[in-house]
Amino acid sequence: MSEGKQKFLIGTYTETVIFGDGSRFNGNGQGIYVAEIDMAAGKMKQDQLIEGIKNPSYVCADKAGKRIYAVSELEEYEGLESGAVSVYETGKDGMMRLVDRKPSMGTNPCHLYLDEEERILYISNYGSGSACAYRIGEDGHFREPAMVIQHQGHSVDEERQEGPHVHSIHPCRFAEGVLVCDLGLDKISRCVVREQKGEWTFTEVESWMTKPGYGPRMLVYHPFLPMFYVVQEMGNRVLIYDYGSGTLQEVQDVSSLMEKDRKIPNTAAEIRINSAGTKLYVSNRGADNISVYDVDREGRLALTGSISSGGKTPRCFAAAEDRDSGITYLVIANQDSNEIISVKHMDFKEAAAEDSMQVGSPVCIWLL
């Protein structure tokens, strides 16, 4: 954040995509948008549009905000049964330019994780149920060959869990490697990239199962405590895990919905926690709101209320914080109403939309 402005990226659907439930969605976005929000007034504006990329449904950036990574959520790329992954770099004129693009080595990639050293990019291939890892060269190019773990199996929901569906990959803070959330298998696994005598491997080391039919989608870590929180898309739940004892333990299982919303057809989506570790947020598609939890000193959650998304189908959101003023803006991507909404959140009485910005099929928000 600079001079009271928080820059952010917006990922979109630009063409037709088939979702996990078999439904077709006709995207009308134009690419990746670079935008900013005024942290004093909550007003947003677009700065730049990166065109020439199909279905950039998830985007992320390096720590400096100079390189942007994006999936292309596709079933075919250059004749392969695969989506794609791209990297862009900021030029001297401030404009983003394509550096490299490679197949994701699986279909319908939907999530990216750049490791802490910014040397490996991990890709979640939802459609084919695989996890892919590319090493990154000093010049920003992806180093081949890619490393791939192909999941096998299914879970209880015959429509959504007929096979593996890797939804996200995250750092592992209690052991070597990364954590992989597979919605199709109801599984969270720890996987490790290793190099030995010039040979690179990507392998699963251990795994943990959620309750059947929950569908683990995304996770966030507590900023201070040895805990992480996993949103369950299909079960509309949040699972809390504690790794302080050296052994991973599930310690809490709470709903993502207020009591009044639990009869509404819904799928939970994004999960965020504030930098103080006192508030956790989860988006609900169907109820079309953001659930807000108080986080106590032991990391346990209490669902205290919900905030309207201001639109339809809040697939993703980010919590932009001004630590000096204590103001938090929820920047919400409403996929089906084609708009980004900014909501100032101090408490529920003051939670109100400050601004809206029209963007076709927005599905990802990444703070720079």
Judged by DSSP in three states, 164 sits in coil
Q: Answer yes or no: is pLDDT of 1 > 80.
A: no
List strand residue ranges (DSSP E) for 160-296, in order.
Answer: 166-171, 178-182, 187-196, 199-209, 216-221, 227-232, 237-242, 249-255, 267-273, 279-285, 289-295
Residue 271 tokens, joined: 């999960």
Backbone angles phi, psi at 114, to 5 degrees: -95, 125
Long-range contacts of 351-354 (CB under 8 A, 24+ apart): 351/307, 353/308, 353/310, 354/41, 354/42, 354/43, 354/329
Residue 161 tokens, joined: 């869990």
Whole-model pTM: value is 0.97
pLDDT tens digits, 33-57: 999 999 999 999 999 999 999 999 9
Instruction: Report which residue type is found at 187.
Output: K
For a pLDDT cut of 90, what percent of the chain falls above it? 91
Judged by DSSP in three states, 259 sits in helix
**Strand order from edge to edge, sheet including 166-171:** 166-171, 178-182, 187-196, 199-209
pLDDT tens digits, 133-192: 999 999 999 999 999 999 999 999 999 999 999 999 999 999 999 999 999 999 999 999
3-state secondary structure labels for all residues of 15-47: CEEECCCCCEEECCCCCEEEEEEECCCCCEEEE
Q: What is the CATH number of domain 5-367?
A: 2.130.10.10
For the segment 252-272, the average pLDDT, to the nearest whole number, is 97
- Between strands 327-334 and 314-322, the pairing is antiparallel
